[in-house]
Amino acid sequence: MAELKYKRILLKLSGEALGGSMGYGIDVNEAESIASRIKEVYDMGVDVAVVIGAGNLWRGKQGLERGMDRSTADYMGMLATVMNAMALMDALERQGVFTRVMSAIDMRAIAEPYIRRRAVRHLEKRRVVIFGAGTGNPFFSTDTAAALRATEIDAQVVIKATKVDGVYDSDPKKNPDAKKFDQLSYIEVLNRRLEVMDSTAITLCMENNLPILVLNLWDSKALTSALYGEAVGTLVAG
């Protein structure tokens, strides 16, 4: 049997992943589908941590356009990520996967406070850890939270889950001639302004030599193939 290339991963999900066909709210069927993908990886013996966005519940940009304070908008987004984390936790535990939600904002009634050493211990005890509330600070995205948490827990890769099979030089849904990249450097991503993750997250990964793999989570074989080191999606490294 092939050896795993990555034994500890951080999976970055967009909030829209839980939104289903409508793109908003929490679709229980989508949560169960994502949980089954994670369980498949978990059953392979991989340590899995997750960061999930909030775009299905709250888009701060809409508030900002109406004059809302940026910090208020960002904190609302952080709270929405915890709702998504709880939905995913429930879906995972119903499939028999032990899960912990850890929040960067203290809300002990529903989530553990984020403590790095405790998070690592959960992973060592074979629990999936879902990090909620971003970094706990406004002005930082969940992309940056994913890069930060991945670095803190010594993840070997950040897997950015999308609904396309990698990074393209333009939108493949609008441009049939769009070119897919198999591999990119961090600097190329920044210079080309490719929408892999925001620039703060890319820079943090670059400084810590943490690779980013962009793939289609809804391709039934993509994630497991990637963990065995097969050429899947787009790898950002070096």
pLDDT of residue 176: 86
pTM beyond cutoff 0.85:
yes
pLDDT of residue 21: 77
Question: If 0-12 CB within 10 Å is exposed, 13-18 middle and 19+ buried, where does residue 95 land?
Answer: middle
pLDDT of residue 20: 77
- Residue 115 has phi, psi (to 5 degrees) of -130, 120
- Burial letters for 36-72: b for 16+ Cβ neighbours within 10 Å, e otherwise? ebbbebbeeebbbbbbbbbbbbbbbeebeeeeeeeee
pLDDT of residue 28: 94
Radius of gyration of the chain (CA): 17
Mean pLDDT per 10-residue segment, the chain (238 residues): 90 92 88 96 97 93 90 96 98 98 97 98 98 96 97 98 90 88 96 93 97 94 93 94
pLDDT of residue 62: 83
pLDDT of residue 170: 86
pLDDT of residue 236: 97
Q: Which residues pair with 51 in a beta bridge?
A: 12, 131
